[in-house]
């Protein structure tokens, strides 16, 4: 993690941490006696000489107050980034408290890391607003162990990056569905680690997973293996106020709460020309298929269902050479690549399904089996095609599962 206040080789300005310590008063106990004090009473430096400051009946002295200071942001600093962390010094961090309030006296929620002596606001501070930090050296904030400092957040910038999630609340997806976050502009490589640190995925039950940048404007998240059936997923993206390069900042935060359905996995073997369907680990159907002929082979690899259309039209008149294009009505179409490969019903090839490949790259099934699959699949259900002449190219669809786990992890910026 980059140290705050550091400017990288590309001129990147990190979180502001110029530290001007505001050292609060400290109270020190003196063990010496004054020879001129006829009464013989002890003298307590910096404190009252009354009964409240004297040793108790047991003779134990009152505890010393911790010297505290706000070190960042600097006192009366302006132009502070909205995601700034509050840093402080304390002789006794375990008994030190930190309170941050806005100009209206509203308390800022956040987490206090007493080991690193940092207060982290739960969300971005408001543009252009003034905040006051109070650090207490003892839980009670006794006089002499407390200090305050104020700073003002930068004005709202004109260059804000839109952040969006492909998935929304309440959706139910297949076990191969990646979480997809998109950005309104390219995120420079040197800023992607900061972006990832502010995106968290919580799965119930817990499962190991990671983010993977598929492009400068899109990042995906998948677990090490397919999601466990019926997993609950909550992910939070907190990019409001985050520097994202070249004077751009994140526009907003977002959260998504969804769930995974049953496990429904399709496997196609070119050798046998059959699709095997398993649900929650049990084989429930074996379906004859016809894949792409040798001139237009189907891709071998692991894909997922991207979208579904009950009725559609395949129109390649403008894509293929003259005389080779076609326009065909299609039922029960399920897209699995961006290049136009689908699982779909193909009544014209039913006579050769299970025996020969005659399609333009799609997985052809009968009308009955097309309907059966269509009624059961979810977006994100995986399909693996094996043994064809052409390998699936990563990026041609949601190909997150077409990589090994070690390869996928390399796509993370952390």
Within this chain, domains 1-28+66-156 and 160-260 share the same CATH topology? yes
DSSP labels for 36-85?
T-TT-----TTS--SGGGS--TT-PPPPPPPPEEEEESPTTEEEE-TTPP
Q: What pLDDT sits at residue 319? A: 67
Mean pLDDT of 12-27: 36
Q: Please state which of the four CATH numbers 2.160.10.10, 2.60.40.4070, 2.60.40.3780, 1.10.260.30 is assigned to the domain occupying 1-28+66-156.
A: 2.60.40.3780
Q: What pLDDT sits at residue 12? A: 42
Render pLDDT for 145-155 as a digit per residue (tens, 0 to 9).
Answer: 789 999 999 99
Residue 56 has pLDDT above 50, yes or no: no
- Give CATH for domain 160-260: 2.60.40.3710
Contact of 343 with 334, CB cutoff 8 Å: yes
Render pLDDT for 306-344 as a digit per residue (tens, 0 to 9).
Answer: 999 999 988 766 666 776 667 789 999 999 999 999 999
Mean pLDDT of 203-208: 98
- Give CATH for domain 264-401: 2.40.440.10
Q: What pLDDT sits at residue 139? A: 55
Domain ranges of the chain: 1-28+66-156, 160-260, 264-401
Lowest mean pLDDT among 25-29, 147-151, 299-303: 25-29
Query: Global pTM?
Result: 0.79
Torsion, Cα 250 256 261 264, to 10 degrees, reads: -10
Q: What pLDDT sits at residue 47? A: 36
Render pLDDT for 82-114 as a digit per residue (tens, 0 to 9).
Answer: 999 999 999 888 889 999 999 999 999 999 999
Q: What pLDDT sits at residue 64? A: 56
Residue 16 has pLDDT above 90, yes or no: no
Residue 44 has pLDDT above 50, yes or no: no
In eight-state DSSP terms, residue 178 is P
Render pLDDT for 358-380 as a digit per residue (tens, 0 to 9).
Answer: 999 999 999 999 999 999 999 99
Contact of 82 with 123, CB cutoff 8 Å: no
């Amino acid at each position: 993690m980059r140290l705050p206040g550091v400017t990288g080789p590309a001129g990147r300005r990190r979180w502001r941490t110029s530290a001007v310590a505001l050292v609060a008063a400290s109270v020190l106990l003196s063990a010496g006696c004054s020879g001129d004090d006829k009464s013989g009473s002890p003298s307590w430096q910096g404190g009252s000489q009354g009964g409240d400051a004297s040793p108790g009946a047991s003779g134990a002295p009152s505890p010393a107050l911790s010297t505290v200071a706000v070190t960042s942001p600097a006192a009366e600093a302006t132009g502070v980034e909205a995601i700034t962390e509050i840093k402080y010094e304390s002789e006794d961090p375990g008994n030190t408290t930190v309170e941050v309030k806005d100009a209206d006296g509203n308390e800022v929620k956040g987490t206090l890391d007493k080991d690193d002596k940092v207060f982290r606001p739960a969300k971005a501070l408001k543009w252009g607003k003034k905040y006051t930090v109070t650090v207490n050296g003892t839980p009670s904030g006794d006089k002499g162990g407390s200090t305050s400092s104020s700073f003002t957040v930068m004005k709202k910038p004109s260059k804000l990056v839109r952040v969006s999630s492909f998935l929304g609340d309440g959706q139910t997806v297949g076990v191969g569905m990646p979480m997809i976050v998109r950005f309104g502009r390219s995120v420079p490589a040197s800023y992607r680690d900061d972006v990832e640190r502010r995106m968290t995925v919580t799965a119930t039950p817990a499962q190991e997973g990671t983010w993977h940048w598929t492009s400068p404007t899109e990042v995906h998240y998948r677990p090490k293996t397919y999601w466990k059936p019926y997993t609950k997923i909550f992910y939070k993206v907190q990019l409001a106020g985050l520097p994202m390069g070249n004077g751009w900042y994140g526009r907003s935060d977002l959260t998504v709460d969804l769930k995974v359905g049953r496990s429904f996995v399709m496997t196609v073997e070119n050798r046998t020309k059959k699709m095997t369907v398993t649900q929650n680990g049990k084989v429930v159907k074996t379906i004859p298929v016809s894949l792409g002929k040798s001139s237009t082979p189907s891709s071998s690899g692991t894909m997922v269902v991207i979208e579904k259309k009950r009725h559609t039209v395949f129109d390649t008149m403008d894509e293929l050479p003259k005389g080779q294009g076609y326009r065909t009505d299609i039922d029960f179409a399920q897209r699995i690549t961006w290049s136009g490969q689908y699982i779909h019903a193909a009544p014209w090839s039913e006579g050769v399904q299970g025996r020969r490949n005659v399609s333009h790259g799609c997985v052809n099934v009968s009308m009955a089996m097309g309907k059966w699959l269509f009624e059961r699949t979810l977006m994100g259900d995986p399909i693996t095609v094996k043994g064809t002449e052409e390998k699936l190219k990563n990026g041609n669809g949601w190909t997150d599962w077409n990589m090994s786990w070690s390869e996928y992890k390399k796509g993370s910026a952390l």
